[in-house]
Structure 1
């Protein structure tokens, strides 16, 4: 999830390969050929979108979130801050606790409070355990594969560039995204009265507010698609699900099919709460990998903003922070290993497009994979080892995260930007 930054400076460039050009969706693009062959081998079908599917994809690139957008539109008819108060009251106490609630708010909460018939709470619990047991490696993959990879699609990354001050605000955005992830991947966290549910809805409203500000600015180029559109929002769900799993498996983690399907299911429900149309939400691992191919098939080329975003993320503070010389050295080592992981998993061409330095650290990750794989086999053979890992990593995360919030002064209430960069 790319939570928008806050700031007042902007570096905006226009991609020459915008989405409506015929090159988008061309199956002969080099990046698609190998993915298409692998998908056919694993799933026995062709993932490339048909003309009808391409038309539907383009339609979703021009769609916002009707229900959340209507709530944000409602804000202008209320005293400043009153709209957010109503949303918070409905989240905390239910829509029935509000006297004469606005129709837009009723419609939104009718959708999020209507638990889908396909929801499986056992799968949610399993997916949360999977998310915790991988420990710090999960953050590595989300930051240096999922977020970095998202920057390669220039159009989808434009909302971040519009709000500027990347160097100063990236650490805060990472912590805010981390707060969201921890909320929604806590066992039971997506219950109606729990923090995961509330965070998902608050982030949804924040995205709608940013979308309105971008459209009202007169600076948004619709050739990039609708800001924070449905297709890009579905792609963000993939970052936390299938891309997350793929990145972890690439460095030696083992997941059963049941665990992989559970993670896809978890993020299907989170996507539902965040306003992504069920029509395009993957319902299985195969659906998710097909959607990932289609996202790559419809992505536009990187541009100069890709490098700005990539370098900002690469230079963000590491988990090892301090003034002692050895802390600085360890921090630099962590930064180098992170860059190496991005180059290993995304390739050197993508690394160059992201402006990342070349480093031999990319060879560290395939070299350590057999050791990780071996430790995973031990975990699977020792009764109770998996749950022990889950509990240990949960405790560590709960102890360390508040300090990160304090250090970055992150806004964990998911309040949107107050003004666009100029």
Structure 2
């Protein structure tokens, strides 16, 4: 019988099932208990100790001859197995898995999700940055790999550019076709995650008894939910109310993106309530905000000053700095702002402006095809503008798309 080790970061089972007002409210909304069963608790503990089985296996092969084997991997990724000098069983096995779409994959839903994503425009970017990312920094388990790999010292703009480039890649039409950028960049990021996981696991600095496995299954699943379930929560707060079809297609898109990234299907969600349940568990799977939270929160808050605006750069940098802080306060509140080392704002004026603007625009778009068309095309254009703020950093991302 397998023994499951409980990492120190995860609170005892009794603490997770002790009744809380928040748990009762969420349980009422989703129609089932949000607290885990004991079997779910053990599954969560196991996920904290589990990486990406298939890619981790491949990394062990790469490490045998790092330079040559990495070249073989990149050849297989960007050009195909036929371009290798000879058959390599490890690569054949891995790519046979990721090239085959899972049985539940639905291209129609993927296409619908893209149209929905484009209509969200910059609202999607605001939510990912000022709600999802800032909230993630409150949970130190996510921050540990950043600390030990030195990423805390990297400019926040560069980290955002890397994430934004990947996000743009996977939200292009036909992005997940075998040799298109959405597919290759996702597998490349998955490879880097496994490489970091391997090296941190070998390091004496990594405290496995406390944190479990670096970039583990649960933390990856929650990152995936940040791009999906958290966005659905955030857009409602900003006055955009998706219908059932839009919600289901959006979640389906991110379910496949998560699957391609190496997340086990048991941690991928089909319905919004499933994500809420996993998000509730997060408060018990991480200690409270610490110095890493404040360092990352402060760094991200100052990111606008790294942007390369064409006109009146200093004025626009200061304006963006204030707008993002107001949005963060609107989403997470003053107390959590302080936990991130951020000074609370007098009011979240920019958030209120977006709320009123979105209610008018998106309500009108339901009655006007012309307005709906404008939101979709203008929205996508504005999503791509974000990368232009980090021109130099964007040039350095070419290794993802050879």
The normalised TM-score by structure 1 is 0.86
Question: Structure 1 residues 404 and 327 mapped into 2: Cα distance closer, same or farther (>3 Å)?
Answer: closer
SS at match of 1:253: coil
* Change in CA separation of 1:21 and 1:40 when aligned onto 2, cut-off 3 Å: closer
Q: Does 1:187 align with 2:161?
A: no
Does structure 1 conserve the Cα–Cα contact (< 8 Å) formed by 2:10 and 2:285? no
Please, which moves more after superposition, 283-292 or 268-277? 283-292
Which has more helix, going by share of residues?
Answer: 2
Distance in 1, Cα, partners of 2:389 & 2:354: 30
- 2-structure distance, mates of 1:242, 1:26: 21
- 1:128 Cα offset (Å): 1.4
Q: Deviations over 1:76-120 (max 9, x none)?
A: 22251x223222222233334434443332222122012111001
* CA deviation after TM superposition for structure 1 residue 260, in Å: 1.1
Does structure 2 retain, via aligned residues, the 8 Å contact 1:176–1:412?
no
Alignment of structure 1 residues 190-229 onto 2, 5 Å: 190-222=176-208, 223-229=210-216
Q: TM-score, normalised by structure 2?
A: 0.90
Residues 214-293 of structure 1 mapped to structure 2, 5 A cutoff? 214-222=200-208, 223-293=210-280
1:177 maps onto 2:166 in alignment = no
Q: For 1:104 and 1:370, locate their aligned partners in 2 and report how far apart those are by CA, in whole Å.
A: 54
Find the aligned partners of 1:338 and 1:217 in 2 and give their Cα distance. 36
Shift in Å, 1:169:
2.6
How big is each residue's C-alpha offset from its partner over 1:294-335, in whole Å with a ceiling of 9 and x where there is no partner? 3334332211111011101111125864597x5323321221
- 1:94 corresponds in structure 2 to 80
Supply the distance in 1 between the matched residues of 2:333 and 2:14 (Cα, whole angstroms).
21
1:353-375 superposed Cα distances (whole Å, 9 cap, x missing partner)? 11111102425424642332122
Distance in 2 (alpha carbons) for counterparts of 1:170 and 1:302: 19
| Alpha-carbon distance in 2 for matches of 1:140, 1:72 | 35
Give unmatched runs, 5+ long, in structure 2: 1-6
- The Cα RMSD (Å) is 2.5
Q: Evaluate the alpha carbon distance shift between residue 50 and residue 318 of structure 1 in structure 2; reply closer, same or farther with a 3 A threshold.
A: farther
**Correspondence for 1:33 among 21, 31, 45:** 21
In 2, Cα distance between equivalents of 1:180 and 1:311: 24
Q: Give 5+ residue unaligned stretches, structure 1.
A: 1-16, 416-422
- Counterpart of 1:118 (choices 104, 120, 125) is 104
Distance 2:245 2:368 in 1: 19
Quick one: distance in 2 between partners of 1:79 and 1:367?
52
1:290 and 1:108 mapped to 2: Cα distance?
31
Corresponding residue for 2:287? 300
8 Å CA contact 2:165, 2:394 repeated in 1 = no
Check the 8 A contact 2:115/2:376 in 1, yes or no: yes
The answer to whether residue 55 in structure 2 is matched with residue 65 in structure 1 is no
**SS of equivalent residue, structure 1 residue 64:** coil
- Residues 343 and 362, structure 1, Cα contact 8 Å, conserved in 2: yes
Aligned length: 394
